[in-house]
């Protein structure tokens, strides 16, 4: 009986922990509907003149939910290209031990390189990953501890911190609980 009471409190706490769905894009026209949440910073690393950022948003296109991921690297040195292809995947290791896999849309993308006015090279790569129905319960109830991206030629791990104050905009972000906070936006967009 005590277990049931604790479980009920846990799930009620998660329900109240969800953040409101703030859609930055909400379009319905003759071709269909598209909604996307505002981008959230999941990862930031500034070290020795090289900066890396990872932004995420949840989008729903005609009922198909995707995770939009944008990687931004900035350096005065050359930045090697990384690509997404049909074999690319996103692995989320959750704190409860489960591993959730998201598949990249079968479209190759190597991003683009832009040189800014201050002499910095900026490489921007965007990917769109599909959710599986079976993983919804895991993502809604357990924070992320590790995010692994399988690019076309390599894999890179990103440790998800419970919270950090970003250098880029001085805001507080909570990447580990991103899906606990925002996964419900998939259903809110219907």
Contact (CB, 8 A) for 17 and 9: no
Contact (CB, 8 A) for 49 and 77: yes
DSSP string, the chain: -HHHHHHHHHHHHHHHHPPP--EEEEEEETTEEEEEEPPEEEEEEEETTEEEEEEEEEEEETTEEEEEEEEEEEESS------B-TT-EEEEEETTS-EEEEEEPS--B--EEEE-TTS-EEEEEEEEEEPPGGGHHHHHHS-EEEEEEE-SS-EEEEE--S-EE-TTT--EE-GGGHHHHHTTHHHHT-
Q: Which residues pair with 103 in a beta bridge?
A: 89, 130
Closest CA to 123 of 137, 110, 141: 110
Closest CA to 84 of 146, 155, 144: 155
pLDDT at res. 56: 97
CA dist., res. 9 & res. 7, Å (int): 5
CB atoms within 10 A of CB 43: 19
CA dist., res. 57 & res. 38, Å (int): 6
CA dist., res. 29 & res. 175, Å (int): 33
pLDDT at res. 188: 64
Residue pLDDT tens, the chain, 190 long: 444 443 444 444 444 467 888 888 888 888 888 999 999 999 999 998 899 999 999 999 888 999 999 999 999 999 999 999 999 999 999 999 999 999 999 889 999 999 999 889 999 999 999 998 888 889 999 999 999 999 999 999 999 999 999 999 999 999 999 999 999 988 865 5
pTM, 2 dp: 0.85
């Amino acid at each position: 009986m005590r277990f049931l009471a604790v479980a009920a409190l846990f799930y009620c706490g998660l329900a109240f922990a969800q953040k409101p769905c703030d859609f930055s894009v909400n379009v319905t026209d003759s071709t269909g509907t598209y909604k996307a949440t505002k981008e959230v910073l999941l990862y930031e690393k500034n070290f020795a003149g090289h900066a890396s950022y990872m932004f995420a948003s949840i989008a729903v296109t005609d009922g198909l939910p995707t995770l939009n991921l944008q990687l931004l690297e900035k350096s005065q040195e050359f930045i090697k290209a990384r690509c997404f292809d049909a074999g690319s995947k996103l692995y989320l290791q959750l704190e409860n031990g489960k591993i959730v896999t998201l598949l990249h849309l079968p479209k190759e993308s190597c991003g683009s390189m832009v040189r800014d006015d201050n002499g910095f090279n900026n490489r921007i790569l965007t990917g769109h990953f599909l959710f599986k129905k079976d993983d919804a319960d895991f993502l809604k109830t357990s924070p992320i501890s590790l995010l692994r991206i399988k690019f076309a030629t390599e894999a890179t791990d990103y440790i998800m911190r419970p919270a950090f104050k970003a250098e880029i905009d001085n805001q507080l972000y909570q990447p580990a609980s991103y899906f606990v906070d925002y996964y419900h936006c998939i259903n809110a967009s219907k």
